[in-house]
Each structure stands twice: as C-alpha cells, then as structure tokens.
Structure 1
Amino acid sequence: MRLPKLLPYLLPVLLFCYGPIQGQSNLIKAEKQKLASAKDSINYINSINRLGMLYHMRNVDSALYYGIRAKEIATRLQYAKGTADADNVIASVLYIRGMYQESLQLYTHALAAYRVQQDSANVSQVMMNMGNVYLSLGDSTKGLNLFRQVIRTGRKDSIMSLVNANYCMSNPRLSDDSSQYYIDKTREIASRYNDHRVLIAVNELESDFLFKKGRNKESLKVLVAALAEARKYEIDDQEIYILNSFARYYKNQPDSALNYAWRGYQLAKEKGYVLDLIPMLQDILTHTELLGNKDKIISVQKLLEATMAEENENLKKFVGDYIKYNTIQGDNAVLSIVNKNSRTKIWLLVSICVVSLFLLLFIYRLYQVSRKHELELEKLNLQILEQNKTLQVADEFKNKLFSILAHDFRTPLISTISIAGLMKDNPEFTKEEMEHFYGDIEKRASDMLESFDIILQWIKQQLSGYQYKAETLVLHDLFSESADIVMQQISAKKITLLNQIPMHATAVSDKEMLQFVNRNLLSNAIKFSPDGGTIIISCTQDDHLITVSVTDEGQGMDEQTLGKLFSVSSNFGSSTQHGAGIALSMCKDFIQKLGGQIWAQNVEPNGAIFSYSIPSKEEELTKKQLSRNP
C-alpha cells in the first residue's frame, strides 16, 4: 500500500511549528513577522531555522539559504541546538534534491547533537527522516528498522502519529489487518493532539487502502471529506495532494482525471510549490495523450519543457550556493588548524584533501543529477528542438567549468598526498628534514587554497555565461607559476625546464583562461618527455600578436593524431592521452575566445612543439568582437 507523497516531508515542519494548524503560506508569513521582531540571537536563529523548514517543500534555494545562515550564526555563537536544527534543515533540502548520502551525513550529525542535548522529540524525528532516506536508497531493511526503533521507545506524543503512518506506508508485507491497525493508531494519536494536518493525511491513506480493496464509494467519500478539511484549515499542500489523489482515482476517466490534475497544478503554481510542478505536468501529459488531442499534447509538452528548463536553472543556482557553503566551511576549518603545532599541520593537510575530494564528489553527483534532467529534456527536444539550443550551449560551457576545477586540482593534490605519505613512512627523518617538509606542505596547501579561491570565483562568474576580464599579464611569470605546481613531476623525471620568455613580454588577456592553457601545455610536455629531457618555453611578438611555444623532446605524433589533436573525439592510444585530448579541446576553445589560435607540429629529430598566438593589446581583441556569450 502506498501513501501519497507528503508524510516524508511533513514531519520536520511539524516539529518546528507547534501551535494552531495553518496553511503553509500563513505559517511563513507569521514566522517572518516573528523574525522581524526577534530581540536576541537565540530567537533569531530559531526563527531562521523554522523558515528554512517551512520553505523546504516550496523553494529549496530559500530553504538552503536560511539553513546556511542559521548554521553560520549558531556556530559563531556556539549555540548547539541551533547548529543541529540547521543541519536538519540542510539535510532535508539535500534529501529533496536527491543527494541521499550527503543528507544522511548531516542527519547523523544532527542526531548525535540531539542525543547529547537529550532532545528525545528531535531524536525520534531525525531517526524517522533517516529511515525515509534509506527507503529512497532502496535499503528497506535499515529504513524499517529505524521506524521500529522509534516505535519501541513507547513515546506518546504527536511524532508517533507520523512514525506509525510512515511505517504503514513503507512496509509492503503488512497484512490488511495490520495496515488498518496502523491507520487507526495514527488517527488516534493525531486526534488526541488535534493535529488536523495528519488527520487529513491519514484520510488519504485510508482512501487509498479502501480503493485497493475495491470499496470505491467508501474511498471516494473519505477523499471528499479530506478535501473539505484541507480547504477549511487552508492547508494548501494537502489540498494539492488530494486533488492529485482524485486524478488517480479517476484514471480510467481521462476527462475527469485531467480536470483534477489541472486544478492541482494551478493551485501548486499559485502557492509556489515548484517542486511538485514537473511530476504534475507529467501526469497531465499522460491524461492528455489518452484523450488524443494533438494541439493540447504539444501545448502541455511545451509547458513541461519550460518548467524543466526553469528547474535546471534553479539546480545551477543550488550548485553555486552549496559550493559556496562548503568553501566557507573549509575555510573555517583551515583557519582553526593553522594556529596549532607541527603535528596538527598534518591533520590540516588531511582535512584539506578530504574537503577537496568531497567537493569533487559533490560536483560529480550534482553533474549526474543535472544530466538526468537533461536526458528528460532531450526527449522533448525531438519535437521542440529550436527552443532548447540556447540551453544546450549553456550546459556545455557549464560542464567545461566543472572539468576545469577537477582537472586543475588533481595534480597538486596527488603531489601533496605523496609528500604526506613519505613523511608517514619515514619516521627517521631529522627535525630539519621534517621542518623542510612541513614548510613545503604549508606552502603547497596555501598556494592550492589561493588558486582554488581564484578559480572558484572565476567559475562562479562564468556560470551565467562567458565573461572576459582583461588585465596586463607578464608571460614569464605566468609560466613560472604553472611550473611551481608541477615541480615534483619535473624533479622526478630530471627534466630541464628553460623559460626563455623575456621578462618584458606582456599581453592583455584573461588570466584564468590563459593559465588553464599554459598549465595543460606544460603538463603534456612533462608527460611525454623522456627522463633527463629538456622543455623550452619561448615567445615571439610583433605589433599585433604574441606567440608562445612549448617544445619537448618526446616521440612526436603521427599525422592522424595531429589532425585530430584538438578535438574531444581524438582517438589517442592511452587513457592518459585521451584525457590530454579533452583538455586540449578546451584549450582550443579558450584560445579562440581570447581572439587567437593554437596548433602543434613535430620537430626533428624528435619531439613536438605546441604554440598559440593571442592579441598583444586589448584593442586588437576588441576588433575581433570576442565579448560574446558561449
């Protein structure tokens, strides 16, 4: 038996919002009035957390904002309950966004904090929410065990009505008698606390139960009564779900089902329940297709596509906000550890690595979620291809930005981890040697953080489209910075690096784009150079262009490889070469955006030379009209 999708999201709201039952809009309005009149920090934090929970079903971006804001203030004031409540808010937002593992991690932190505070009500609440997450992950054993643990506590407060209802909903092995028992138990507890929201929800559950037993008239009667109660108490979200239940009830009567589905959609749109709009439109499309009206089908498809596109944009904003949140968290951790002794510095390195890896995994998971939405959009693009061109181009540029962040931090992280491993495996190092290693680690970590902040700010600017930022750059210094990042690989292969670019050679260009190209050309030259080889960096300049070249003594390339070198589809002979091909295709794209061109050729008797040219002055770039969106 399946419960309409409301109880997993309903529980956190109830725990933060005691008092007379009101509609979601009224509760938000009332809480904002309390926030404006809050006279102390504790009440202010509590109010922000309540707003975060009230918004989590309607606008996840707003919910995330309130959760992050509350955690920032609570952490600064060392208000433990406020921090736990904020983790609970953020975890609920991540759960809704489909990031189940990250959600479980924050729920676990909140659960531990509530246990220390002996807050038994919130302990039960978080355990039930964790049960719902495990069910979403497909682990019904862990999910149901958590529900049973809460039930065995014997608590008699209003939380137990939801625990019983969720257990009934999530356990397909329950007999009809057991299901009816948990329905009655839920209604009994909700009636005792005059909890109209849960009473309405359990009526929907019972209606579904009666319908599956073939008692259609009784099912419809219960559903009609639930709708009247939802309207009476202005509980908007319940009214929306009940209208959808009517649509399911009349699924064999497309006209009636479509009527109720549209009413639910219009109410959700009016009240701002944006998270429900896509599944509602998908149901409306199904009912419309059964009626066979092609014009209406196309109209609904267009509306669905527009809604999905808007949700995709919201997801991009969510990515930016959460990356910013993790960055702040990481910075706070770094600042607190830097002031400790030498032994603590090793833990600082480990923390930076873990945070960085977590960010990479987070970006990859968000990329998967984004790709899921894109696949759905591509199905509709078969009929409405022209409307999606702008979205597809923007998404391609966004993916390149993510690739830049992953590509530029892999090598320095591996290098730093190698140094830490060397220190761990060789305890016989002298104090002077250890101090040397500590200094090296601290410098690398500081440089990495500084580079990370710069690149992250640049990527954040580019998420809304390509933005050219011109500045005067000293090319010799740019390659010196790039060489510092890969110095361990240079030393390991005993390569001689000759930076022959004159100190006076400058260009007016975008530093981050140009440095991405420089790092990739230098990295590739190191990869394909023999041990003990020489890499030469040189440049030439005239009144309009400056040309930079990186020459190595590797094996060179065949004609087929040269012809496809700067294409993503390049068929290189190894996975390493294939990764280089992807990076080189991005280098070509960036150099073209900077008004230049990039090429490669073999040199005799062996080796290769990679070159690019860019305008030496800003007015030359302006003439090429490159300030366009990607």
Structure 2
Amino acid sequence: MRRTITYLLLCCGAWLGSNRANAQSVEIADLHRSLPYAKDSLEYVDMLNQLGMYHHLGNADSCFWFAVKAREIATRLQYKKGMAGALKNLGIFYSQKLNIQQAIAYEQEALELYRQAGDSANVCHILNNLSIDYEESGDTAREHDYLRQAMYAGSRLDNDSMFSLVLSNYILEYGSDSTRQDSVQWAYQKLQAITARYPYSREWLYAKMFEAIELVKDGRGRQGEQLIHDIADTAIQKGFLHLAIAAYFRIIDDFIPLGYNADSMVYTARIFRLAERAGYYDIMMSVLPSLYRHYAGRQDSRHTAYYGNAMLQLARHQLGLRKSSQEINYMRYFLKEQEMRSLQLQNQVQRQAIEQSNLQQANRRLLIWGLSGLLLLLLVVAAVYYRFYRASWQYERRLAAMNITIAEKNRQLKANDDFKNKLISVVAHDFRNPLNNIIRMAALLQSRSLSREEMMRIIEQVETASGKTLAVFDSILRWIKSQLSGFVYAPAPCPVNAMMTDARQSVQQAAAEKQVSIAIEVPDDIQVAAEREMLQFAHRSLLHHAVTLAAQQGRVVITAQEAAGAVKVLVTVPQVIAGTAMSGHLFGYRGTAYYQQHKPDDAELALIICRDFMDKMGGHISARREGEGMVFEYELPSFH
C-alpha cells in the first residue's frame, strides 16, 4: 500500500499545505463557486489546476478533465506556470492509471518548466513524484537519484513544509534499510523539528505516525496503536480525511509486519468508510475486494451484502462517469497529443527548411559579391605585401650580415679581454715572489749597516732573483707571443720531475719562511703531452697554493701515477692550516655575475686559469679534502 499512502500525503501536499484548517471538500466547493469570478485568464488557469489536484484522489477523470482544460488555455496564453501545473496533474493522473512512462514524460516536461520559472517548491514536488514513479517502474537507480535531488532541493526551501513531505518519502523508502538507519534517524529528527513549528497541521500529524511506528519497534505496540487512533480522530475533526486513512494504513502496512497483533479487517473497514465519505473512489476500489472476500469467507451475510452492494454502486458510479459529458479517453488524448506534436514538428521543420533555402540563396548572392570584393582586395594586398616583402628581405640580408660581423667582433673582443685578464694574472702571479725578494733585499741594504761579505751575499741573492725573474719574464713573453698569433695547441713531451723541480724554485723562499719541505717523488721517465709554458704555469700555481695552505713546518709531497695512457700528478698537503676554509670548487667556474660582485684574488684567478689550460690540453684538474690535508690533482695524456 506504500504507493497509495505516498500519493495521499505527498502528491496533494503542495496544494493543501497552505490552508491548514479547512477541509478538502469545502475548498473544492469554494473553488467551483469562484471560477466564474476569476479576475483574468491566468487566475482561471491556476484555479483549474488547483481543482484538478483536489479531485485526483476522489475522481481521477475530473482531475484529468481540469488538467486538459488548464493546459489548453495556458498553452494559448503561453503561461508557463499554468502549463507546468497542468502537466503535473496529468503526470499524477497517468501514474494513478499505472501508465508510468506517460506519467514520467509529463512530469519531466513540468520539471523543466518549473526550473525555467524558478519555482523551487514545485521543482522539489516534481522531483519527489518522479522518485515515486521510477520506484513503480522498477528503475531503482533513478528512483534514488530523484529522491536525492528532492532532498537537496527541499533543504534549500524557505517553505519547509514541502521539505517535510520529502523527508517523509525518504523515511518510507529507507526505513527498512539497515545500512541507512543513521540517515533515516536524521530525517526523522529533522521531520520532527520542522513539524513541531506547526502543531496539529497535516505535516505534524504525519510525523506522529512515524512516532507510533517507533513505539511498536520499542515493544510499546498498545501505545502506538492508541497514538494512531488519536491521530485519526484529530485528522477527521479537522477534515483531513486522507490523513486519517493514511494513519490506519500504517497499522496494516507497518504494525502488523513488525509483529503487532491487530485485526487488519477492522482498519480496512475504517479506511473504506473514510474513503467513501471523502469520495476517494480509487481507495474504495482497492480495499473493497479484500473486505468482501473476508466476510464472505466468514459467511457474514449482512456485511457481505453491504460490501457487495458497495461494489455494485461503485461500479455504476464509475460507469456513469465514463458516460458523462466530461468523459475523455485519456489514452486517445495522449496519442492525439503525440500525433499533433509530430505534425507541429513536421510543419516547423518544413518552415525552417523553406526559410533556410531562402536564406541560403541570399547568402549565396552576398557571398559572390563578398568574394569578388575580397579577391580584388587580396590582389591589392598581395601587390603591396610583395613590395614590402622584397624590401624587408633585402633589409634582413643586410642586417644578418651586420649581425655576423658584430658577433665576430664581439667574439674577438671577448677573447682579447679574457687573454688580457689571464695575462695580468700570470704576470702578477709569476713575478710577485721574485720582485718581493728584490724589494725585501733592497730594504735590508737601506735599513742595516752590513759588512762587505754580507752586502756581497745579498747582492748575489738579488742578482740570482733578478735572473730568475728575467727568465720567467722571457718564458712568459714567448708564451704571450704564441697567443697573439692565435692559439694552436701543439703538445710536446714535458718531464714532470724536471718541471716540478724547476717550479719549486719559485716558492722556495716562501717554503723556507714556513719551514715547509717539498718532496718530489716522481719517476724521471714520466712525461706528459702538454704545452710547456701552460703546464709550468699550472705547476707554479699548484705549488704556491700548496705552500700557502700547508701548516708551519709541514710537508708538500708530489707524486705521479701512469696508467691506461694517462698520467695523474698529485700534489698532497698532509696537514693544512687549522681553521682554513676550503672551497668545494677551487677550480669551478662561478660565472660572470659572481666576479662582478666578488673580485677574485690572484691565487684564485691563477687556479681558474689552470683549469682553462688543462681543458685546452685535453686534461682536467681538481682539488679535494683528504683527512686533515688537501690533495691537488691533474691528469694529462702520457707522451710515448
């Protein structure tokens, strides 16, 4: 009986919710009297729709008749709200006649119109009805989807009485689902909170029915049955006969299945009497057969005759309605409507085809003129473009030639600038120690009274240092001259031991002052393929850096290893000065931006030049920490 109960409470709820104290029959009579006095056609359509809604329980054919009339007038007036109301009534009518697919078709059309009109309450109502119809059609997925949409729409309504109807439908749908008891309980609490604001209203009475069911579940069936009686009595007093019928259906549909012992025929008889009183012929027809069979089986002639006569009278009534002037063949109406829509669609398609043909002809003419003008314009643009393109092409050729020339000059300037920086570093690095020695000795000569032997010894030292300086200068000068004519790398055999021994002389004075010993443990026969002056500059730079880092009275050990056609030379400082900050990339290239902000010292620049020289000679150079010391290492191809 869930479908009957749902339509008793939910389908009529939207129209009846606003007049809480009047009986339905009074409202129907008032509307019939008011029809001739409608202010305008729109109000007349609304009255017809409201009458159709009121009649859907007592006389479905009247509901259909009012819906058809309302729709005809609303369509002629293009009154969308009236059209939607008529479609909603037609959907309810076809649903009662169990033509579910037709009902869904009308309700979907009504839903679209209500959405266009922004009527949230009726959108919620239609969504709720669609959920019920899809349940009847067996489409559970769509049933639940529309119920979910109705719950969402109802929660956003200002008129929460409509939301209470959706909550009721939700409880009816999921009340027996053990996986949804939390949400059902929430819906029940929400329903109670809403209806508490409208005591003794339809919604409040309906919420009390769920309260009665909860009492039965808790084992207090007598209290629940008494609550149902109170609800039915109150509903009858207020003229809400449909609610009294729904209350008695709760005992049949819910109490008895839960195990409560009640006489279903007693309540079925009450439902029949109330339906007879209200004119709900469909409900009367649904309960009469079971009543008649029950009393016939018990051989109760009085009640059997009563209900048999009621069945006869009801059949005559229905037959009389079919023969009345208001009778409309709803199936034929539906088919004719579909046929009319098909003809209208064909007519519209033909008109659109004619209009499109005319439009295409006009467009063709316009297109021909447009294309002609466009072709002429394109010819003019092409001529102008070709002229500018030719001038631009010549300009780009000249510009490209100038860019190539400028790039070549920039490359030469950069090369010259790099060479100048390296030249300055080489001169500053290789001449610093000899010149410092000469200056220091000259200061000694000026500041002290020396004997002839001491003076001669110092002069000999100055002469030796000057000779070394000149030798270094001569060596650097030859290297500079080779660079000015363009660098061409021509590797030559370079004995590592001999070159390291010669380079050691450049740092001998600094090593003596720190008492640092320099041990060269390189076999005499190891030779590398390199450019001599570039390699010797690297040797002097490495030894200078090693002596600088070495601790007082420390050692510098030079070793070499030859393997796989390459020679690896290591300058090891076993112990460096305590607290010295070692760079993780002594030979790394930091970029131009770094050197614009941090001007490197001569030693750092010398090591960078060493890296460049090693790259040009096909080798590489690096530095690493090893315990408390430091290891400088370079590798070059072996000369065979």
Normalised TM-score (structure 2): 0.48
Higher Cα Rg: structure 1 or 2? Answer: 2
Normalised TM-score (structure 1): 0.49
